[in-house]
Amino acid sequence: MSLGLLLLVLLALAVAGYVIGRRKAVAQVEGDIRKLHSLPPFYGRITALLTAVPAFFLIAAWLLAQPLFLETKALNLINPAELPAGKSAELVMADVRRVAAGLDMLAARGQDVTPLLASPTALKAALNTAGVVLETEPTPSTLAATAALRSSGDTSRLAMTIAALVLALAGLAFGLSRIKPEYRARNATEQFAMWLLMASSLIAVLTTVGIVASLLFESIHFFRLYPASEFFFSTVWKPQFGGGSQLGILPLLWGTLYVSVIALVVAVPIGLMSAIYLAEYASRSTRAWVKPAIEILAGIPTIVYGLFALVTVGPLLRDYFASPLGLGNSSSSVMTAGLVMGIMVIPFVSSLSDDIINAVPQSLRDGSLGLGATPSETIKQVVIPAALPGIVGAVLLAASRAIGETMIVVMGAGAAAQLSMNPFEAMTTVTVKIVSQLTGDTEFASPETLVAFALGLTLFCLTLALNIVALVIVRKYREQYE
Amino acid sequence: MTAPISLKGSPLHPRAAIDTRASLLLQDPRTKARNATEKRFRAYGLSAIVVALLALVWLLVSIFGNGLPAFRQTFMTIPVTLDAALLDKGGKRDPADLSKATTVAYGKLLAASLGAEITAKGIDLGGMDAKALAKMISEESPATLRNRVLADPSLIGTTINFTLLASGRIDGYYKGRVSMESAALDKNTSPEQLAMADKLKAAGVLSTSFNTGFMTMPDASDKRPEAAGLGVAIVGSLYMMFVVLALALPIGVATSVYLEEFAPKNNFTDLIEVNIANLAAVPSIVYGILGLSIFINFAGLPQSAPIVGGLVLTLMTLPRIIIPTRAALKAVPPSIRDAALGIGASRLQTITHHVLPLAMPGILTGTIIGLAQALGETAPLLLIGMVAFVRDFPGAPPEGLFDPASALPVQIYNWTQRGDPGFVERASGAIIVLLVFLIAMNAVAIYFRRKFERRW
């Protein structure tokens, strides 16, 4: 049974549960619903919930765990003696998975695949026509693993369908058996709903746990293969997929910071001055359209900025600044990425600063103006000092946004890891290297791939620290005037 | 004894205040200077706004200027005689036989038909051989024709009017990307071909019209920018948005309701709240790493599948939905809850019958804006393998959610990484499509907010 059909059947069972449960409750009191503890729909609802929800959770859990279980099983079938030199069992498993997928594809086209499993040569040829190209002929144990993977995949699917249906029917029967006039159906429904609400709020915690666990686990794996002191203090980034690579984070951090600093140098004056103008000078009608217009900048996807950097800003800077000044002739440069990223973070600075400036009590301004200060003197000497902590918080948030930004630097900053002061040279950042080390077919046992997780962990800690500092500053300031 | 501080010359000098020339009509130098500073400061503010808005305009103009040509495409319409001797050597219309005629054979047929049409229109071929003529035709067109014949073998032996894509260089010539000078240096085209294209245009064979294929066709390989379309990417993005909506909206609303209405004030609740605040600020690429290691490596879900993209984007969108939803719930006045509880509703009934309907406009606005952000997100999708080259449309959901697909922003990134300049135009065109989707979604959100906004 296909997944869609199974879900539909479960839904139908739930609806049936609702109707039957409601009918049963009403029938037990012979239509006099005053004798029921709860209104009739509640009896239907609790039955429907008991029917559908456990079965849905079972399917979700099964789908998540099934491949893990199947692959351990198939992995055990692979004969370690047959492994080609330099290939790990995990890598062979990738082949097994591809062969299985290819066979499924062939089977879907109506081809008989059983004879193929007997002869590796025919299998390789058949898979080639299907677009699955194998490097070498599969070994007998690979074939056995493939067959096991496929057959147990089918069995597992069937088992899941049966288990889900049995669970649903059991839930239905259990729900119906509990229906009596004195059964507190409303309380039961609400208790059930409450558990669902609580479970969904746990997803946020689980996400954090997932992020930290996956980063930490793989980073520890990386630091076992590569010394941590080299990673944090080496100034050379030179990954070589043959081995013997040098993976120092410093050039990447330098690129990240350089780009972010340029972005902030662009964004902070523009953002802050626009916030001041909007909060203190602009008329209500100007504010009504300028503020949303600036905020459009925050709603534009970063890929758009990336293309803008790649196609427009990069060549422009190269042709009119870098080349004439003899500073370089690369269109992707720290300046390109920084400038475009600066445009992107303007609204982060301006919107937050605007809110904070507006939160400064009017009495402070009135006092200053009453003493004879001009509006600009009031702003510079009273409003800004009062709002300063909040503005610093806004700038820090913008900085964390700039450090974690990926697409603009991938497309605008280049890929050369180097420590240079020249802003018109291509440099690279932490995020760019995470992307380049993790895209494509990668083997998850080499330090060249695992380094991405260590980079991710560094990035996560860096942005988290910035955010926490920013939030603490903003919160402290807010309390001051409330 | 300290020496008295000299104030002479400074505006703070007591004498300076008594400036005999000053009056209401005549400003003294110090007031003048202060007023000038004031004016300058205002001007700085105004120019900051102007710079920010100009940057926005520059961005949009650059994208639209590069991208609009992608919506027009150069086509040639020529009669093609599908010669049975060439395409069906067995003569039995057997599908196995028919598929033996490769795209090379169809390519030769198309080039010959184009040559015949040129002579028929009375244009001098000017020494162009079949090879040069074939270069005027997109490499995709023979495959299109072949698929059409394979789908309908009865066409063999007849003459059909076939609309084919002109090559990317000729298309670029009419969009100003290719000139006679650049063509002379280019091994993929020649000035003669461009001149011939001009003659064909005059004869009505070649024309430029709206490019529907851009929205419906799948991606094409490196050398065929003229045939690349967004079809698979749009379907993939729609599937992902479907997953995000189906998961993030219920989970987000449930979480918000729990935290806002039920959760006791304790450390556990605080933990959840801090978590949500932090998740909103985690860089998107970190979610990509999460997706790669949990959903693909640990759970073994397929790479480049919309379901994985949808799950990753769901986790990323959740905090962005929870924050506005909680604000919307908070905005419903307690008197509503008190009234409902007072007439005997349970707490859950109070929420589902009264609080949620009243907060719905705010929740929907937040959800749509969250979805719009998810639609434009690229970085996490790169890590879960959505950059793969996918030409087959995914199947129908829910099984199709597990098929490989692309996504709009990733397709854009993919195109920017290719060599042919025709792909820059395609990428910018795709951004216009993406922006149109985003503008539509935001417009709906603003409409909801305007229409249903209620002040208590």
pLDDT digit string (tens) for B58-106?
999 999 988 888 888 888 888 888 877 777 777 777 777 777 778 888 8
Subunit contact A438:B250, Cβ cutoff 8 A: no
Chain A residues inside the 8 Å CB shell of B319: 204
Chain B residues inside the 8 Å CB shell of A357: none
pLDDT tier at B21 (50, 70, 90 boundaries)? low
Least confident of A10-14, A119-123, A199-203, A364-368: A119-123
Minimal C-alpha gap between B267 and chain A (Å): 13
| Residues A32-49, mean pLDDT to the nearest whole number | 89
Q: What is the mean pLDDT of chain A?
A: 85
Q: Torsions phi, psi of B204, nearest 5?
A: 85, 5
pLDDT(A264) > 90: yes
Q: What is the token pair recorded at B113?
A: 């038909």
Nearest by CB to A274, from B48, B281, B288: name it. B48
**Whole-Å CA distances, B139 to B191, B220, B301, B411:** 19, 10, 35, 21
Per the CB < 8 A criterion, the answer to whether B190 and B132 are in contact is yes
Residue of B nearest to A405 (CA): B283
Using alpha carbons only, what angle is made at residue A125 by residues A120 and A131, rounded to the nearest 5 degrees? 120
Rounded Cα gap, residues A213 and A227, in angstroms: 20
Rounded Cα gap, residues B151 and B95, in angstroms: 9
Beta strand spans in B283-387 (E): none
Is residue B188 helix, strand or coil?
coil
Is residue A344 helix, strand or coil?
helix
Identify the pLDDT of residue A85.
Answer: 55
How far from chain centre, in Å, is Cα B326?
30
Q: How many other β-carbons are positioned within 10 Å of the β-carbon of residue B232?
A: 24
Domain ranges, ordered by start, for chain B: 72-211, 231-452
Rounded Cα gap, residues A295 and A284, in angstroms: 17
**Higher per-residue confidence, A471 vs A47:** A47
Residue of A nearest to B374 (CA): A301
Q: How many other β-carbons are positioned within 10 Å of the β-carbon of residue A149?
A: 24
**Higher per-residue confidence, A284 vs A240:** A284
Whether chain B has a CB inside 8 Å of the CB on A397: the answer is yes
pLDDT tier at B241 (50, 70, 90 boundaries)? very high
Subunit contact B282:A404, Cβ cutoff 8 A: yes
Identify the pLDDT of residue B342.
Answer: 95
CATH topology of domain A238-481: MetI-like fold (1.10.3720)
Give the residue from A23, A55, A47 showing the smallest Cα distance to A189: A47
Query: Would you tell me the crossing angle of helices A250-276 and B29-67 to the nearest 10 degrees?
Result: 120
| Residues A9-36, mean pLDDT to the nearest whole number | 91
**Higher per-residue confidence, B8 vs A97:** A97
Nearest by CB to B293, from A198, A218, A406: name it. A218
pLDDT(A148) > 80: no
Rounded Cα gap, residues B186 and B165, in angstroms: 20
Domain ranges, ordered by start, for chain A: 3-183, 238-481
Identify the pLDDT of residue B2.
Answer: 46
CATH topology of domain B231-452: MetI-like fold (1.10.3720)
Least confident of A291-300, A447-456, B159-168: B159-168
**Higher per-residue confidence, B82 vs B320:** B320
- Please name the helix (run of DSSP H) or strand (run of DSSP E) that holds residue B78, with its range, or none: strand B72-81
Whether chain B has a CB inside 8 Å of the CB on A361: the answer is no
Rounded Cα gap, residues A218 and B4, in angstroms: 70
Query: Would you tell me the crossing angle of helices A447-481 and A185-225 to the nearest 10 degrees?
Result: 130
| Residues A48-67, mean pLDDT to the nearest whole number | 87
Task: Judge if the upstream peptide bond of residue B357 is cis by omega within 30 degrees of 0.
Answer: no
| Residues A17-46, mean pLDDT to the nearest whole number | 90
Residue of B nearest to A101 (CA): B302
Q: Best residue in A49, A303, A460 to probe B by mutation, most B CBs within 10 Å? A: A303
Least confident of A290-294, A370-374, B212-216, B448-452: B448-452
**Model pLDDT for residues B165-222, shown as the tens digit of each residue:** 888 888 888 888 888 888 878 777 788 888 888 888 888 888 888 888 888 888 888 7
**Whole-Å CA distances, B425 to A295, A403, B169:** 27, 29, 13
DSSP assignment letter at A141:
H
Chain A residues inside the 8 Å CB shell of B438: 299-301
**For the whole model, what pTM was predicted?**
0.86
Whether chain B has a CB inside 8 Å of the CB on A467: the answer is yes
Rounded Cα gap, residues B304 and A445, in angstroms: 21
Identify the pLDDT of residue B235.
Answer: 92
Identify the pLDDT of residue A82.
Answer: 63
Least confident of A188-197, A434-443, B256-265, B377-386: A434-443
Nearest by CB to B44, from A4, A273, A405: name it. A273
**Model pLDDT for residues B24-48, shown as the tens digit of each residue:** 777 888 888 999 999 999 999 999 9
Whether chain B has a CB inside 8 Å of the CB on A129: the answer is no
Nearest by CB to B399, from A2, A311, A404: name it. A2
Identify the pLDDT of residue B7.
Answer: 47
pLDDT(A19) > 90: yes
Subunit contact A290:B53, Cβ cutoff 8 A: yes
Percent of chain A with pLDDT over 90: 38
Rounded Cα gap, residues A275 and A284, in angstroms: 14
| Residues B436-452, mean pLDDT to the nearest whole number | 87
Number of continuous H segments (helices) and E segments (strands) in chain B? 21, 3
| Residues A161-167, mean pLDDT to the nearest whole number | 92
Beta bridge partners of B72: B210
Count of alpha carbons within 13 angstroms of residue B31, beta-carbon side: 12
**Model pLDDT for residues B106-147, shown as the tens digit of each residue:** 888 888 888 888 888 878 777 777 777 788 888 888 888 888
Nearest by CB to A301, from B46, B66, B434: name it. B434
Q: Torsions phi, psi of A86, nearest 5?
A: 80, 0
pLDDT(A364) > 80: yes
Identify the pLDDT of residue A75.
Answer: 73
Per the CB < 8 A criterion, the answer to whether B48 and A280 are in contact is no
**Model pLDDT for residues A265-309, shown as the tens digit of each residue:** 999 999 999 999 999 999 999 988 998 899 889 889 999 999 999
Q: How many other β-carbons are positioned within 10 Å of the β-carbon of residue A404?
A: 25
| Residues A81-90, mean pLDDT to the nearest whole number | 60
Say if residue A436 is exposed, middle or buried (CB neighbours under 10 Å; 0-12, 13-18, 19+): middle
